[in-house]
Amino acid sequence: MSRAFGERLTIEPLTLADAGPGEVRVALAAVAVCHSDVSYADGEWGGELPAVWGHEAAGTIVEVGADVGFAVGQRVVVTLIRSCGECHRCQRGAEIACTASLDRASPLTDADGREVGQGLRTAAFAEQVVVDASQVVPFDDEIPMTSASLLACGVITGVGAVLNTAKVEPGSSVVVLGCGGVGLNVVQGAALAGASPIIAVDPQESKHDLAIHLGATHAVSPADLQALVTELTGGLLADYVFVATGAPTALASAPVLAGAMSAIVIVGMPPTGVTGQFDPGSLAGENQRILGSKMGTSVIARDIPALVTRYLDGELELDDLVSRTFPLEQINEAMDEVRKGTALRNVIVFDDA
Ligand SMILES: [Zn+2]
Ligand SMILES: [Zn+2]
């Protein structure tokens, strides 16, 4: 079955398989709409259709397959990070790049028994998912499901880029280009790391107040940026520049903001085919680094419980990151707002949430 991206079609009924060995079935309470869902649905990154997207979720385990160390009734964050824990990459702490057990048949089929894609290994724009047990992490009962869902992607991607990928030191100067759902979590991560100044940048001034609330020392539009970075760093320029947007203009502006001994950290995901230009002489002469950061280089069983503790201690904001909640029936509206960039995190909630 071949479909065009953007085409609206109805496939009923969809069947979800039982949890197999090593898998869990989770009844979802909340799933956030991430910009990656929009990019995939719009065909920016290729892929097969039809598929169900959604990958930033929280819910309750309702079935466990064989050889699974979780129990029915546990509340869990559901992520897209499926890992074996044993391969070369997992042993290096790079579960996000696990080379084993990644792909398997989708648990979703249509009425004729044909496979329907499990988008981002999760397919969480649905009442239930069947995922590998490595993709879920139990969490404390005191967290609202809507807030917990954000821990699956946006929060770990942003905070992890600072704490895991870049390992920002206290007192470092940080520029964050883009204050979307991920960029604001880069700001939170920079604050947790003790960075200063933390300069948040977004053309939408409506996002500046929240950036300050989350720990930015300054929030500005791109036009004001170069002079401010020069002034605040005494001419040294930034120690870290996080590119937390897929916008090519942000990527292009990063090198002129970065000082000697700095790192440019690429967090945002531009459409396939976008390229950037860097001056290798400057990189070598100024001892600069370019770091890619996928999902904050997160080890979810380690990082999500740590973030839960930070949230319960009042050090990490989750609740205020939720822009609006929607029933599943209004998912197209929820996705349109994310597409336009007017929403931080729209969250789909289910009846018994
Ligand atoms: Zn995501
Ligand atoms: Zn692995």
The predicted pLDDT at position 353 comes to 46
Centre of ligand 1 from the C-alpha of residue 57, in Å: 10
Centre of ligand 1 from the C-alpha of residue 163, in Å: 18
Centre of ligand 2 from the C-alpha of residue 104, in Å: 15
Centre of ligand 2 from the C-alpha of residue 149, in Å: 24
User: What SS3 class is residue 326?
Assistant: strand
Ligand nearest to the CA of 134: 2
Centre of ligand 1 from the C-alpha of residue 235, in Å: 36
Ligand nearest to the CA of 156: 1
How are strands ordered across the β-sheet holding 15-16?
Answer: 15-16, 108-109, 115-118, 51-52
Q: Report residue 193 as tokens.
A: 């790391």
The predicted pLDDT at position 3 comes to 60
Q: What homologous superfamily is domain 155-295 in, according to CATH? A: NAD(P)-binding Rossmann-like Domain (3.40.50.720)
User: How many helices and strands (H and E) does the chain possess?
Assistant: 11, 17
Counting Cβ atoms within 10 Å, is residue 237 exposed (0-12), middle (13-18) or buried (19+)? buried
Centre of ligand 2 from the C-alpha of residue 80, in Å: 14
- Residue range 244-289, pLDDT digits in tens: 998 888 999 999 999 999 999 999 888 778 888 889 999 999 999 9
Residue ranges of the chain that CATH labels 3.90.180.10: 15-151+318-349
Hey, what amino acid is at 342? T
- Residue range 74-115, pLDDT digits in tens: 999 999 999 999 999 999 989 999 988 667 889 999 989 999
The predicted pLDDT at position 344 comes to 82
Q: Contact, 35 vs 337, CB < 8 A?
A: no
pTM here is 0.93
Q: Which of 25-34, 130-139, 244-253, 292-301 has the lowest mean pLDDT?
A: 244-253
Query: Residue holding tokens 């991920």?
Result: 182
Q: Which of 160-169, 194-203, 256-265, 338-347 has the lowest mean pLDDT?
A: 338-347
Centre of ligand 2 from the C-alpha of residue 65, in Å: 20
Residues 6+ apart with CB under 8 A from 229: 173, 175, 199, 237, 238, 257
The predicted pLDDT at position 2 comes to 52
Query: Residue holding tokens 């690429």?
Result: 266
Residue 300 clears pLDDT 60, i.e. is over it: yes
Residue ranges of the chain that CATH labels 3.40.50.720: 155-295
The predicted pLDDT at position 101 comes to 62
Ligand nearest to the CA of 53: 1
Kindly state the average pLDDT of the residues 15-27.
96
What's phi and psi for 259, nearest 5 deg?
-90, -170
Centre of ligand 2 from the C-alpha of residue 341, in Å: 34
Ligand nearest to the CA of 82: 2
Ligand nearest to the CA of 132: 2
CATH number of 15-151+318-349: 3.90.180.10
- Percent of the chain topping pLDDT 70: 96
The predicted pLDDT at position 337 comes to 92
Centre of ligand 2 from the C-alpha of residue 84, in Å: 4
Hey, what amino acid is at 335? M
Centre of ligand 1 from the C-alpha of residue 85, in Å: 22
Q: In this structure, how many other beta carbons lie within 10 angstroms of the beta carbon of residue 68?
A: 19
Output the CA angle 259-261-263, nearest 5 degrees: 80
Centre of ligand 2 from the C-alpha of residue 301, in Å: 14
H or E segment and range at residue 59: strand 56-64
What's phi and psi for 231, nearest 5 deg?
-65, -50
Ligand nearest to the CA of 299: 2
Ligand nearest to the CA of 38: 1
The predicted pLDDT at position 352 comes to 57
Distance CA 288, CA 149 (A): 35
Ligand nearest to the CA of 36: 1
Ligand nearest to the CA of 99: 2
Q: Give the largest Cα separation in the chain, rounded.
A: 66
Nearest to 14 by CA among 135, 142, 161, 113: 113
Hey, what amino acid is at 166? A
Distance CA 40, CA 61 (A): 27
The predicted pLDDT at position 1 comes to 44
Centre of ligand 1 from the C-alpha of residue 58, in Å: 13
